[in-house]
Amino acid sequence: MNAITFLGNSTMMIPSQCILRAFTRISPSKYIRDPALRSYPSRFSSCVNQNKNPDSNRILTPTNAVPFCTDRQSSVTAQVVSEARSLSASTTCANDPTVDRIYTKNGLNVKPLDLNKLKGDEKDEEVINGDGYEGIKSNETEEEAWRLLRDSVVTYCDSPVGTMAAKDPTDTMPSNYDQVFIRDFVPSALAFLLKGESEIVRNFLLHTLQLQSWEKTVDCYSPGQGLMPASFKVRTLPLEEDKFEEVLDPDFGEAAIGRVAPVDSGLWWIILLRAYGKITGDYSLQERIDVQTGIKMIANLCLADGFDMFPTLLVTDGSCMIDRRMGIHGHPLEIQALFYSALRSSREMITVNDSSKNIIKTISNRLSALSFHIRENYWVDKNKINEIYRYKTEEYSMDATNKFNIYPEQVSPWLMDWVPESSDCGFLIGNLQPAHMDFRFFTLGNLLSIISSLGTPKQNQAILNLIEEKWDDLVGHMPLKICYPALESSEWHIITGSDPKNTPWSYHNGGSWPTLLWQFTLACIKMGRPELAEKAVTLAEKRLQADRWPEYYDTRNGKFIGKQSRLYQTWTIAGFLTSKQLLQNPEIASSLFWEEDLELLETCVCVLTKAGRKKCSRAAAKSQILI
Ligand code: GLC
């Protein structure tokens, strides 16, 4: 029976004793210390007996699944899913280094990008930019950045598996910054991939896949199957005599400040998997059965039915890059843009067959609804704000204009002053809930919306226009503000819970984060405006090396190094390097973003047609939704 049939039959009856054995809960430390249990997958397998290749690191055991399930049928499914992963190790050609790296995807020959043609390795050049500044030789800064990035690499059983969040040699209290964060590794991965070094990324993708769905418990409760950890650490544990073993120890939020599950991790993992295929041309990784299962598990977790009325993903505060209370619970833009990007990636990567038909359909429908909802309801420009300012409230009807019952008093003075006059400028707001619009500008969500085409082409241009127009506020001395404006006074007290790290214009509360440079660069390249990105990169280059690569900057325009900012922060370094490489290789950059998908628009128009609102056709899709 092949693994797919095996999955298809996964609801077969299994004696209850088996299930009990498979899902009995044993604490992680017990696994480590009890040699009888040491056959547990990657997290607790010993390097001593282990093949260094993560491809071989899938040991099938009865416990290789989500423990602590109470539902018999889903328990069995979980176990079988996991067994399919194990089977896949022997069925992929990826184990064979002699296999040519040109693969056939969905019947089409896909030509890998020629990494020998990558630009960016040329020798030193003096940078003299527009305002007469004679920068440090660009390559000197880049050389240091590369040295630091390589120095931050974490190995597991002698193979590179990720980069630690920060590596400041003078920092004696690294907290969890010595761990590999999933979201932080993305720019590192891109920098390595664009340099033609893919091993670390492949290892990272496979090892984190092994960590997926590991028992994650907060106060006796285990959240959904498919969750990816926020971070992991390689720990060295003593064995008998003078032997040691290395284990991967994931953190799903159970140790994190605030105990928040990282919703973004799985979404970033899927996006990175797609990028790996696009840049290396090695599509065999995403075609593996265990990897396919991983994609579907993340997608299923996000697509599960609940009580929500919106196509956006409902999350708790701090479930993404902003990982502490900042009033972004509900439907924050960053998560929606990541969700959209991950669903688009999944739709490209999930192998089409009988068993995947339904999930592909569900993904397509959700993509349509999600983009329609965001484009219609999150978009603001001067005219829209004026419309909201004049809203009538308490409209009980299917045709209400003010669908979410927004009270116009929410349009605060800063917004009325700040929004540019021109209708060529606008942005997607931070969050939308009943009677609540969060009008703050969140940079990552807006940039990802451009990159993934969550926004319309016109909206995408208008967001970049706004950034250009509001350069002093959003870029200032250091690109880019994480959000604008900061929460101050009583708002800061109430919304952040008086968080001393998130004081106004610091850290998540209006701080400036250089790591956001790579998403900005990608968005600018996509919209045909690389000069805007070059301007920001030049600005960052003036200070980053001298300031020792800080995590974030403080003040209204990013003048000072953040008061509690880590130094030698890896995603600052990697974001800078990735931006440089993307600018030097716009052709490769273009494989990382998404163009408008008319098929998705058509689905949406057709759904609206059923509700009697629009005519169903591709032309209608173009004219009605491509605003
Ligand atoms: C902080 C950031 C988070 C990042 C982590 C490691 O907690 O808020 O986004 O992943 O540091 O750098």
Nearest Cα to Cα of residue 411 among 391, 396, 434, 428 = 391
The values of phi and psi at residue 220, to 5°, are 70, 10
CB atoms within 10 A of CB 191: 27
- CA–centroid distance, 257 to ligand 1, in Å, is 11
Q: Alpha-carbon distance 386 to 582, whole Å?
A: 38
SS3 call for 245: strand
Q: Tell me what pLDDT residue 53 has.
A: 42
Is residue 180 in contact with ligand 1, taking CB distance under 6 Å? no
Per residue in 1-23, pLDDT tens? 333 333 333 333 222 222 222 22
Is residue 334 in contact with ligand 1, taking CB distance under 6 Å? no
- CA–centroid distance, 429 to ligand 1, in Å, is 22
Q: Tell me what pLDDT residue 257 has.
A: 76
SS3 call for 560: strand
Burial of 404 (0-12, 13-18, 19+ CB in 10 A): middle
Kindly list the strands in the beta sheet with 244-251, ordered across the sheet, starting from the edge strand earlier in the chain.
180-181, 231-238, 244-251
Q: Alpha-carbon distance 567 to 547, whole Å?
A: 8
> Strand 180-181 and strand 231-238: pairing?
antiparallel
Q: Which atom of ligand 1 is nearest to the CA of 322?
A: 8
Q: Tell me what pLDDT residue 242 has.
A: 87
Q: Which atom of ligand 1 is nearest to the CA of 320?
A: 9
- CA–centroid distance, 320 to ligand 1, in Å, is 9
Q: Which helix (H) or strand (E) holds 146?
A: helix 138-151
Q: Tell me what pLDDT residue 224 has.
A: 77
Question: Can you read off the two tokens belonging to residue 445?
Answer: 């969500």
Which residue is closest in CA terms to ligand 1's atom 9?
Answer: 321
Residue ranges of the chain with pLDDT lower than 70? 1-138, 213-217, 605-627
Q: Tell me the C-alpha to C-alpha distance, in Å, between residue 573 and each of 80, 86, 288.
A: 41, 36, 32
Look at phi and psi of residue 510 and say left if phi exceeds 0, alpha if psi is from -120 to 50, else beta. Answer: left
The answer to whether 245 and 47 have CB atoms below 8 angstroms apart is: yes
Which residue is closest in CA terms to ligand 1's atom 12?
Answer: 165
Q: Alpha-carbon distance 60 to 49, whole Å?
A: 15
SS3 call for 123: coil
Q: Alpha-carbon distance 387 to 406, whole Å?
A: 11
Alpha helices in 400-554 (DSSP H): 413-418, 443-452, 457-469, 471-474, 489-496, 517-526, 530-543
Q: Tell me what pLDDT residue 300 has.
A: 95
Q: Tell me what pLDDT residue 120 has.
A: 60
Is residue 165 in contact with ligand 1, taking CB distance under 6 Å? yes
Q: Which atom of ligand 1 is nearest to the CA of 176?
A: 6
Nearest Cα to Cα of residue 133 among 469, 472, 543, 473 = 543
Q: Alpha-carbon distance 346 to 367, whole Å?
A: 11
- CA–centroid distance, 530 to ligand 1, in Å, is 28
Q: Which atom of ligand 1 is nearest to the CA of 570?
A: 12
Is residue 183 in contact with ligand 1, taking CB distance under 6 Å? yes
End-to-end CA distance of the chain: 50
Q: Tell me what pLDDT residue 381 has.
A: 97
Nearest Cα to Cα of residue 465 among 561, 529, 535, 404 = 529
CB atoms within 10 A of CB 243: 11
Q: Tell me what pLDDT residue 617 has.
A: 52
Q: Which atom of ligand 1 is nearest to the CA of 507?
A: 8
Is residue 278 in contact with ligand 1, taking CB distance under 6 Å? no
Per residue in 551-597, pLDDT tens? 999 999 999 999 999 999 999 999 999 999 999 999 999 999 999 99
Q: Alpha-carbon distance 92 to 58, whole Å?
A: 13
Q: Which atom of ligand 1 is nearest to the CA of 323?
A: 8
Which residue is closest in CA terms to ligand 1's atom 7?
Answer: 323
- Radius of gyration in angstroms for the set of CA atoms belonging to the chain, rounded to a whole number: 24
Q: Tell me what pLDDT residue 624 has.
A: 47
Predicted TM-score (pTM) of the model is 0.82
Is residue 55 in contact with ligand 1, taking CB distance under 6 Å? no
Burial of 392 (0-12, 13-18, 19+ CB in 10 A): exposed
Is residue 482 in contact with ligand 1, taking CB distance under 6 Å? no
The answer to whether 463 and 426 have CB atoms below 8 angstroms apart is: yes
As a 3-state breakdown, the chain gives helix, strand, coil percent values, each rounded to 5, of 45, 10, 45
Q: Which atom of ligand 1 is nearest to the CA of 165?
A: 12
Which residue is closest in CA terms to ligand 1's atom 4?
Answer: 321
